[in-house]
Structure 1
Amino acid sequence: MSSNDPTPFGTPFSERHIGSDAAAQAKMLAEIGYSSLDDLMAAAVPAGIVSPEPLRLPPAASEAEALAELAALAGRNDVGVAMIGCGYHPTITPPVIRRNLLEAPAWYTAYTPYQPEISQGRLEALLNFQTVVGDLTGLPTANASLLDEATAVVEAILLMRRASRSKSPRVLVDADTLPQTLAVIGTRAEAVGLEVELVDLDGPLPEGDFFGLLASYPGCSGEVRDLRPLADDAHGRGAAVAVTCDPLALTLLTPPGEIGADIAVGSTQRLGVPMFYGGPHAAFIAVREGLERHLPGRLVGVSIDASGQPAYRLALQTREQHIRRDKATSNICTAQVLLAITAGMYAVYHGPDGLRRIAGQVHARTAEIASELEVRGVRRVNRHFFDTVVVEVADAVAVVARARAAGILLRPVDATHVGITCSEITTAEHVATVVDAVEPRTDGGVMVQVGTGIPAALRRTSAFLEHPVFHRHRSETAMLRYLRALSDKDYALDRGMIPLGSCTMKLNATAEMEPISWPGFADMHPLAPLEDVAGYRVLVEQLEEWLAEITGYAAVSIQPNAGSQGELAGLLAIRAYHHDRGEARRDVCLIPSSAHGTNAASAVLAGFRVVVVASREDGTVDLDDLAAKCAEHTDRLAAVMVTYPSTHGVYETGITDLCDLVHRHGGQVYVDGANLNALVGIARPGTFGGDVSHLNLHKTFAIPHGGGGPGVGPVAVAAHLAPYLPSHPLHPVPEQRVGIGPISAAPYGSAGVLPIAWAYVRMMGADGLRRATQTAVLGANYLAHRLAPHFPLLYTAENGLVAHECIVDLRPLTAETGVSVDDVAKRLIDHGFHAPTMSFPVPGTLMIEPTESEDLAELDRFVAAMVAIRGEIDAVAAGRWSAEDSPLRHAPHTAACLVEEWTAPYTREEAVFPSGTPAGKYWPPVRRIEQAYGDRNLVCSCPPISDFEN
């Protein structure tokens, strides 16, 4: 059978994506009292926001057709051999890691490890990543990754501001920093009132007070500088020191922690992660002792479980913006988990010796180029180097053109300078081609002695990656089994439903995922010439047009690489709009008390003051309080941030009144797109009053959560805000180089995963997208109706309906019996489920979202599990056992429980088989984890192997 034969794809993709068929939907509709999906939506959604016209999208394509179109687009991208550098490098992802991690649904369909008992595999993998970063940088504590290098540098600058003794708003920044990083620093610093001064680190630091110094090691020019005198000077003046660094270079260079850095930051992309045309890539940040609690993002630590055995968990979670809100120090609510794990496993597979060999080869190729060009009389700008040299030429454009004609991409620094960067894939042939492109050979050639570009005083002498995990997995057999053993410990969508409210854990179809590994998408350098990326340009333009149509806005930018960054981009657009109109005084952002935690944090980082608007008892925004706050701040009102449907899972009837009210007071309306899965094909925020929204492509548009990342958070705006969308000084399209500045490191953010969302829209079509929304709402209302006799529902509309998620209120039961929301969540593990969202947006509740991808059998299995748990709660109330002695409090139960001495007042069978004896039971690897112990005894890198004895 031909690969183009349509027979295997005869069923429309939407029927593959949507879990319930017509018969199942009829049964669910009958259960809740509606005759059709259209009738249900007419009752659930306020008539005033419903779009009268269907979406204008291309007709739905089959999987085969969509894959063929994507293959054609990938074929229009001319990959070449990228020697551009600038923070992005060709690399080799070991096939065993690519196939069994990056492309494996057990890894990419997992959720953020907030339920640590069922996330031990990816938590161990992240601890490996943190150990790699900590060892290479020479700093004791690293977090579990950030979004990209440029935004991570901004986080480092903000961290220095918090940690420094200086009260100055001034930060000194190395002029030899990557240009995209400098641009993002500029965008972000202006919003929060930081003064950025570029400095030449070949000379002394300027006079005056400053809170931090950011240095590059190596610099963008490739120069490797000894930063110790500068660090001493900065510390002597009360400032902190952050160093951007290359993890591969650090296998040969003295680590930042040994030359005075308080903070080290960079990207792990070149540790086996494809360039992906700019992302997704895992950035890193590591800090000296004493700064752990200032770290942004997630931090994996070691604790113990109920049996006293070591177990992994997310540590110090009270730092997160969901808890600290407008007091948060960062709006980052995600990471790049899948890519961080890939980079960590690259280090596990190669080990310290392998990494040194790779780095040595990269450096040797660079030295060959430097030596040969020197023989030919070409002047090198940088004296020292690891992988990059910048050389002076008569005509940079001509040199770059000659190299490109030979299939190699170089970096034109300016009219008379060219940058050349070697990588893991650089060969002797590439070296010869580059040298001839720079200075064509005019004689028979001269043999030269290859030297080193690393100064003796900066050659690394300290050991790294000494933990056994970095020495045990050299054979592919060992690596394969290690990856399998870790994934077996985890619960992901490949095992069952993950009913997390607000997170939309839907199907990530194989046909959507497959293209991202194709070389035409995976191996593109983000700074490749415009003519080499024709396929990506079409893909991005089409996706932005489709998203604009779906949301009802005039323009979309896909640059933000997380929902939090999309929020920030939207708020910065609002800020720039007011400033351009001479209304810079507008600095108040109204945020409902029920909003996502990132909303408040993003508003502060965009330079706004947060004013909280009350919610009514039914969970809706209190419009009377909103009116009062609008009137109070009418001259300074910049925006309102509102989530729709609400964070409480209800279609609020007053949304258009809210928009009109804020507009009358001169403010802009930001509609958070976190819950867009309840609107697509039904209503469009850009037409019912929104001025700007961010979208979560890793929710509504099928990009996987990847264990907590990657994410993509495009920002969509009305026409009057379109001039204020993110720009980028290195954008391939010249018209998009000037504007408010970039929000992410790469011009198109995490472009490498955009084919997933493109394929989702292309294969679903307008009718499929609408039906997916209807089915998601049906599933949520079916669950709400089935659970209502057993658990109180917190919020519903006047007709008793919810949107795409429902909130179960456990607080009355907790007050009566002592059984907590944690007990219910952990007991669900014994039933083979990931828990719903816990205690958000209301403490002591569970927010449940089934999505459209789950079938009726899985929904009924979840209902049965919850009903069984209610029975156990009733048994506590009746005195059969106390809450402390119940299976709820001791959940989850591991296989080891079966062979231990049994003293519980319930049976082993009740403990581990509460739903009967399923053929494919999931066994959690650890018992309930002690959260407080891990925060009191913070261990954030691979612990000594002796800790795991017995």
Structure 2
Amino acid sequence: MSLFEQQNAEFQGRHIGPTADEVQQMLSTIGVDSLESLIGKTIPQSIRMQDSLDLPGPVSEYDYLKRIKEVSLDNKVFKTYIGQGYYNTIVPSVILRNVFENPGWYTQYTPYQAEISQGRLESLLNYQTMISDLTGLPIANASLLDEATAAAEAMAMFFSTLNKNASNITRPKFFVDNYIFPQTKDVLVTRALPIGIELVFGDYQSAEIDQTYFGAIVQYPNSQGSVEDYAAFIHKVHDAGAYVVMATDLLALTLLKSPGELGADAACGSAQRFGVPLGFGGPHAAFFTVKDEFKRTIPGRIIGISVDSQGNKALRMALQTREQHIKREKATSNICTAQALLANMAAMYAVFHGPKGLKAIADRVNVLADSLADALQTLGAELINKSFFDTLTVKVNNKEAVLAAAGAAGINFRITKEGYIGISLDETTSPKDILDIVAVFNTTDNTAAGITVANEATYENIPVSLHRNSPYLTHPVFNTHHSETQMMRYMKKLENKDLSLNTSMISLGSCTMKLNAATEMMPLSWSHWSSIHPFAPKTQVAGYHQMIDELSRYLCAITAFDACSLQPNSGAQGEYAGLLTIRNYFNARGESHRTVMLIPISAHGTNPASAVMAGMKVVVVKALENGYIDVDDLKAKAEQYKDNLAGIMITYPSTYGIFEESVKDITQIIHQYGGQVYMDGANMNAQVGLTAPGLIGADVCHLNLHKTFAIPHGGGGPGMGPICVKAHLAPYLPSHIEEDNSSKEAYDAVSAAPFGSASILLISHAYISMLGGEGVKNATQYAILNANYMRARLEKEFDILYLGNNGTCAHEFIVDLRPFKKTAEIEAEDVAKRLMDYGFHAPTMSFPVPGTIMIEPTESENKAELDRFCDALLSIREEIRAIENNQMDKADNPLKNAPHTQFMITATDWAHAYTREQAAYPLEFIKENKFWPSVGRVNNTVGDRNLICTCEPVEAYMES
């Protein structure tokens, strides 16, 4: 390799952990003589990729940043007034630098281990409080994916509440007001069709609602900008025994009466305009609030308040967390990821500005809208909406001239389906911008003479009955941190409570917490990527389309598929989109009766939930003792349901971390009986460059870009779940109303924006570009190497479940902790909490097998870090052995009392039989960089029995 080739390939050495010398030591421990020998023993030869990946060669970090900057300049940053749920916003620099660009926030995992997640849990509790206060509804979740899918979740929640018997749907109708956002309507149609919901579109003022309706949705303010009083309509719907969700706007709610005060049962929308960049559609946190009666059925995650082992207040995820893993096909939602990082940004925006600051922003926007309305009417424009907060819809006689002038001035307006011009103002709009807009409309003399902008808010454009008088954001957290010094320290205080990848490895099986390289992240802050509206004209987004087209080609090459959709904005959305693609394919062939989906019992819980959402019937396939799919049972069920078989959902390597040799037999059986093979791409980090779903026989596969392709987890989101398909399925991929898909059916979008959370696609584009074909293959090989090295180190002291026929694992493996329940009364949870004292996040707990941990080290960790983790687990094994040998008490020992906080260690009284040093510093390396859990073990039962999901009033703190 020449000097310049070495330079181009330098990123591989930055991303992959083990050095050449370490590799030889690790291979020796495993008992193989080469990396290729290990791969040969792990992956069946029948599915091995024979050719190199058709990807460009690697580029250096410097060259990548230089090139992607040039590509970004093909995106034109116009002054955009398109609105429709997406607005320009000012990201406070203190939040941009300390949260958005900070690996201490964006590399955190979902807070399943509450004791080392108190910082982000507090921030998400702030988010829930903010949403609950502004919407006037008591129960909020910690964010959903986007506004359109949040509205669809509300529809599904109402539907399942009032139609509990799926075979006897007595209330099939859902009313949709004409003036909800078009992309929301698009997604509602997609979600309604498979499960038998009948959508009825109309004007809420004249709608006739009877007992055949289960619910309704209205937009507040609506898509024309009109601020409507829905109180009488909501009362009418309630009289019919149905429910209402209001899609609404957080900034508007600082001035408008809340949905809760109007009687709504739920509210949803996007928190994007609270300091989160446009990013061509995302990622953006959706909000969702409900009345108390829905607290057990609300989708997504709720952060609740409980207590720890010392009786102190502690936060945790409550109630239905990962409910689909429990309810499976009976789950009402397949939501798994949220938008936690973006919810945290929005929460910090509210903390920074406080209620007075938010209202001042809203006042400025409303005053500018009022001034613009007066000016445009003076010029002869007709105002379609007589009431408004920030959006005007106007009718002009010289529309083409206005639009031409706008284009020349670098201004984007919205064109409604009626041909009107829509103008949505925002936080970034200035008085000068109003003069520029007026000049565009004043096509006769192109002056703005005589136009004045008011200085005081009068709210004359908002109906008096809808003026907000109720307080919001009264909690001290929203009224304290308004200087940058205070804000910086508050965010740092929370960050210090959380373990993230900048602390130590996070070896979560099935979750792939690999390096999120700084170079991959940097372009997200650049204005030509971050400031683009998702509905901007195509002529202005050539840079985005180039990047998206390139990434699509890369992913098709990696998966051996022919076409790709980058629209799904989470893995669960990818599952759903893939199944809809299969369903649409069969419908087009006149085989709509093919609705049976076979799903192995070992599958991710989101698989059966997604299948039911796509209108399919789930049939479970058995597993053998070794974790393999029972091929005989599969064949019998495929034959039994051959007339109605839609396909099978498989994960490969399996959820147990094995490359099953029978996988091609499985795909052939399904095809033999007319079905399609859906592959869950959760474990693609063990496939890339070595095998591929298309080679194995799959027809569609979703990819978790926040796993295999380096998008960070961000405390539980953002994620992206694009799907790749064979050519025969390509015509049935999701389309979108904002894209030119005239050859497709009008409605089959699965996300609000055409390319989902488009801005974070840059991360995966950078990851593949800088590694190149050989680099991504090596990443896979080293992931398998690291996992097998840890397995080899641990297998003498722990039972390892479900290895392949040659005694190896794939990129992850399962450690069985169940025997210790019998020998020492130690459970998996005790081991997980004790690992915190060693400075580590626990591996995946009790999935896919209860009482186990699943370890996935990723390729990014070096041998020293792998050894530290193994040393920690082996040390814990010795602690268990001491209990087994009666050298430690079964109730009072370091595992049962873990984690040990700094307060516990430094307390005057120490009543335990083991030493303080043994509790806090069980191994020497911990002394170099001790991470302290901020609370003791959290009491889950107390939290669920006494659900508190917003910040407690200040009196509660005074009492405690």
In the alignment, is the contact (CA less than 8 A) between 1:501 and 1:837 conserved in 2? Answer: yes
Alpha-carbon distance, 1:401 to partner: 2.8
Q: Secondary structure at the residue paired with 2:490? A: helix
- The equivalent of 2:377 in structure 1 is 374
Paired with 1:544 and 1:118, the residues of 2 have a C-alpha distance of 37
Equivalence map 1:720-731=2 (5 Å): 720-731=728-739
- The equivalent of 2:25 in structure 1 is 27
One-letter code aligned to 1:145: S
Are residue 628 (structure 1) and residue 636 (structure 2) matched?
yes
One-letter code aligned to 2:135: T
In the alignment, is the contact (CA less than 8 A) between 2:396 and 2:420 conserved in 1? Answer: yes
Paired with 1:55 and 1:8, the residues of 2 have a C-alpha distance of 19
Q: Secondary structure at the residue paired with 1:351? A: helix
Alpha-carbon distance, 1:9 to partner: 6.3
Query: What stretches of structure 1 of length at least 5 have no aligned partner?
Result: none
Q: Secondary structure at the residue paired with 1:540? A: helix
Equivalence map 1:273-422=2 (5 Å): 273-317=276-320, 320-414=323-417, 416-422=419-425
One-letter code aligned to 2:332: T
Alpha-carbon distance, 1:291 to partner: 1.1
Which of 753, 763, 768 is the equivalent residue of 2:770?
763
| Distance change (3 Å), C-alpha of 1:204 and 1:889 | same
- The equivalent of 1:613 in structure 2 is 621
Which of 844, 853, 861 is the equivalent residue of 2:860?
853
Q: Which moved more, 1:358-367 or 1:196-205?
A: 196-205
- The equivalent of 2:114 in structure 1 is 116
In the alignment, is the contact (CA less than 8 A) between 1:728 and 1:738 conserved in 2? Answer: no
- The equivalent of 1:921 in structure 2 is 930
Q: Which moved more, 1:315-324 or 1:787-796?
A: 315-324
Paired with 2:390 and 2:271, the residues of 1 have a C-alpha distance of 15
Which of 686, 693, 718 is the equivalent residue of 2:726?
718
Q: Which moved more, 1:933-942 or 1:435-444?
A: 435-444
The CA deviation string for residues 603-635 of structure 1, in whole angstroms up to 9 with x for no partner, is 000000110000000001000110111111111
Paired with 2:105 and 2:489, the residues of 1 have a C-alpha distance of 14
Are residue 69 (structure 1) and residue 67 (structure 2) matched?
yes
Paired with 1:802 and 1:700, the residues of 2 have a C-alpha distance of 17
| Distance change (3 Å), C-alpha of 1:91 and 1:480 | same
In the alignment, is the contact (CA less than 8 A) between 1:576 and 1:740 conserved in 2? Answer: no
The CA deviation string for residues 793-828 of structure 1, in whole angstroms up to 9 with x for no partner, is 011012110000000001112122110000000000
Alpha-carbon distance, 1:22 to partner: 0.8
In the alignment, is the contact (CA less than 8 A) between 2:384 and 2:393 conserved in 1? Answer: yes
The CA deviation string for residues 274-303 of structure 1, in whole angstroms up to 9 with x for no partner, is 001001000010001211111101000000
- The equivalent of 1:940 in structure 2 is 949
Which of 729, 736, 755 is the equivalent residue of 1:748?
755
Q: Which moved more, 1:568-577 or 1:735-744?
A: 735-744
In the alignment, is the contact (CA less than 8 A) between 2:651 and 2:679 conserved in 1? Answer: yes
Alpha-carbon distance, 1:118 to partner: 0.3
Q: Secondary structure at the residue paired with 1:211? A: strand
| Distance change (3 Å), C-alpha of 1:388 and 1:798 | same
Paired with 2:419 and 2:614, the residues of 1 have a C-alpha distance of 38
Which of 838, 842, 856 is the equivalent residue of 2:845?
838
Q: Secondary structure at the residue paired with 1:317? A: coil
Are residue 59 (structure 1) and residue 57 (structure 2) matched?
yes
Q: Secondary structure at the residue paired with 2:383? A: coil
One-letter code aligned to 1:794: L
Q: Secondary structure at the residue paired with 1:553? A: coil
- The equivalent of 2:873 in structure 1 is 866
Equivalence map 1:645-684=2 (5 Å): 645-684=653-692
Are residue 89 (structure 1) and residue 87 (structure 2) matched?
yes
Q: Secondary structure at the residue paired with 1:640? A: strand
Alpha-carbon distance, 1:164 to partner: 3.9
- Count of aligned pairs between the two proteins: 945
| Distance change (3 Å), C-alpha of 1:197 and 1:60 | same
Alpha-carbon distance, 1:554 to partner: 0.4
| Distance change (3 Å), C-alpha of 1:580 and 1:10 | closer
Are residue 818 (structure 1) and residue 816 (structure 2) matched?
no
Alpha-carbon distance, 1:447 to partner: 5.1
In the alignment, is the contact (CA less than 8 A) between 2:171 and 2:211 conserved in 1? Answer: no
Paired with 2:15 and 2:657, the residues of 1 have a C-alpha distance of 23
In the alignment, is the contact (CA less than 8 A) between 2:516 and 2:711 conserved in 1? Answer: yes
Paired with 1:830 and 1:311, the residues of 2 have a C-alpha distance of 18
One-letter code aligned to 1:31: T
Percentage of matched positions with identical amino acids: 49
- The equivalent of 1:501 in structure 2 is 509
- The equivalent of 1:42 in structure 2 is 40
| Distance change (3 Å), C-alpha of 1:363 and 1:9 | farther
Which of 230, 247, 267 is the equivalent residue of 1:264?
267
Alpha-carbon distance, 1:6 to partner: 9.5
Paired with 1:688 and 1:798, the residues of 2 have a C-alpha distance of 19
- The equivalent of 1:478 in structure 2 is 486
| Distance change (3 Å), C-alpha of 1:7 and 1:553 | closer
Alpha-carbon distance, 1:781 to partner: 0.6
TM-score (norm 1): 0.98
Q: Secondary structure at the residue paired with 2:244? A: strand
Q: Which moved more, 1:191-200 or 1:109-118?
A: 191-200
In the alignment, is the contact (CA less than 8 A) between 1:726 and 1:739 conserved in 2? Answer: no
Paired with 2:798 and 2:640, the residues of 1 have a C-alpha distance of 40
Q: Secondary structure at the residue paired with 2:923? A: coil
- The equivalent of 1:440 in structure 2 is 443
Equivalence map 1:443-458=2 (5 Å): 445-446=449-450, 452-458=460-466
Alpha-carbon distance, 1:433 to partner: 1.6
One-letter code aligned to 2:798: F
One-letter code aligned to 1:545: R
Alpha-carbon distance, 1:402 to partner: 1.5
Which of 150, 153, 158 is the equivalent residue of 1:152?
150
One-letter code aligned to 2:28: A
Paired with 2:127 and 2:403, the residues of 1 have a C-alpha distance of 37
| Distance change (3 Å), C-alpha of 1:776 and 1:471 | same
Alpha-carbon distance, 1:914 to partner: 1.1
Task: Give me the CA root mean square deviation.
Answer: 1.6
Q: Secondary structure at the residue paired with 1:313? A: strand
Which of 10, 14, 17 is the equivalent residue of 2:15?
17
Paired with 1:126 and 1:414, the residues of 2 have a C-alpha distance of 38
One-letter code aligned to 2:377: E
Paired with 2:724 and 2:513, the residues of 1 have a C-alpha distance of 22
Alpha-carbon distance, 1:8 to partner: 12
Paired with 1:79 and 1:202, the residues of 2 have a C-alpha distance of 39
- The equivalent of 2:159 in structure 1 is 161
Paired with 1:167 and 1:906, the residues of 2 have a C-alpha distance of 63
Paired with 1:8 and 1:340, the residues of 2 have a C-alpha distance of 41
One-letter code aligned to 1:649: G
Paired with 1:53 and 1:499, the residues of 2 have a C-alpha distance of 31
Alpha-carbon distance, 1:43 to partner: 1.2
| Distance change (3 Å), C-alpha of 1:633 and 1:556 | same
One-letter code aligned to 1:704: P
Alpha-carbon distance, 1:415 to partner: 6.4
Q: Secondary structure at the residue paired with 2:296? A: helix
- The equivalent of 1:784 in structure 2 is 791
Alpha-carbon distance, 1:881 to partner: 2.1
Are residue 693 (structure 1) and residue 701 (structure 2) matched?
yes
Q: Which moved more, 1:811-820 or 1:515-524?
A: 811-820
One-letter code aligned to 2:177: D
TM-score (norm 2): 0.97
